[in-house]
Amino acid sequence: MTVPIPATAVPPEPGRTGSAPSILSKAFLLLECFSAEDRVLTFTDLVDRSGLPKSTVHRLLSRLMSLGIIEGHDRAYRIGMRLFAITTSMPASHLRDLCLPALARLQAWSGGTVHLAVLRGVRVAFLERLASPDDDLPTPRPGEILPAHATALGKALLAWLTVEERDGILPDPLPRFTPATITDRTALERQLHAIRHSNIALDLAEWDPGVFTAASALVVHRRQVAAIAVSTSAAAELTDELSTALRRTATTLSDQIRARIDAGEAGWRPVEDVRP
């Protein structure tokens, strides 16, 4: 399991305030209790995890079940098919489907844990995780969100923002998660400059002390779209050969995405060309 992010580690998402939560935000609290590891939860689980009163959880469950967002399952609850149908229409689903074959080949070749992620403000959101059957590396699962500056995927993506864009979202100093986390903005900027040149970003136990990762951005019209990564349990496994394979895979996927965007295919939006 990944380390939880302290509430003060990253700025709040736009629109979030200290006011009382709305019924919609309470519903999301309930939905966020589910995960890839916990697909079915009891009423007690939902009360404990959400921190909401039992009466509120009961009302929310009744409403969400009537909408098909949550379904009953053997005296417990799970995400409903209606919500699943909605999520499959997300742009991220198109991206995941396109990248999955190449990610599977990269995982089979490297033997490491392979990730696909996108940048969301100062955070990186994980879309896919592929690993060998005996993998026990404590890396994020799809749907998890981590601070961008402390991860290889996040740094690979931040490198393709302009300095002005980074100044607008990154705190100073940066929060620390392990002794290896970069907390100085000047040091991070130097590293991001090098990452943009090489298109290889490294996380040397900067988020989790036992995880080492190399990542490469998918770039279309000089703008980052997503990033792919390979994680291992030893820094020595982040070889030049692995970096070459990552870059090659990232270039292939970038070309495929560019072709779909330029062709105006449904589900693929144009990417603005912003030159530094």
Looking at the fold, whether 44 and 179 belong to one and the same domain comes out as no
> Which residues form the domain of 184?
91-262
pLDDT score of 208: 95
What is the Cα–Cα distance from 60 to 56, expressed in whole angstroms?
A: 6
Looking at the fold, whether 36 and 133 belong to one and the same domain comes out as no
Q: Omega of the bond prior to 138 within 30 degrees of 0, cis?
A: no
Contact status, residue 128 vs residue 99, Cβ threshold 8 Å: yes
pLDDT score of 88: 55
Give the DSSP H or E segment for 254.
helix 240-262
- Residue 11 in any domain: the answer is no
Q: Domain end: 72, 87, 102, which one?
A: 87
Mean pLDDT by 10 residues, the chain (276 residues): 37 47 89 84 95 95 94 91 69 84 97 95 93 85 91 98 95 95 97 97 96 97 95 95 98 95 74 42
- Residue 268 in any domain: the answer is no
Secondary structure class of 238 (helix, strand, coil): coil
- Residue 37 in any domain: the answer is yes
Looking at the fold, whether 131 and 73 belong to one and the same domain comes out as no
What is the Cα–Cα distance from 122 to 145, expressed in whole angstroms?
A: 10
Looking at the fold, whether 173 and 251 belong to one and the same domain comes out as yes
Looking at the fold, whether 77 and 99 belong to one and the same domain comes out as no
Looking at the fold, whether 144 and 192 belong to one and the same domain comes out as yes
- Residue 226 in any domain: the answer is yes
pLDDT score of 274: 38
pLDDT score of 269: 65
pLDDT score of 217: 98
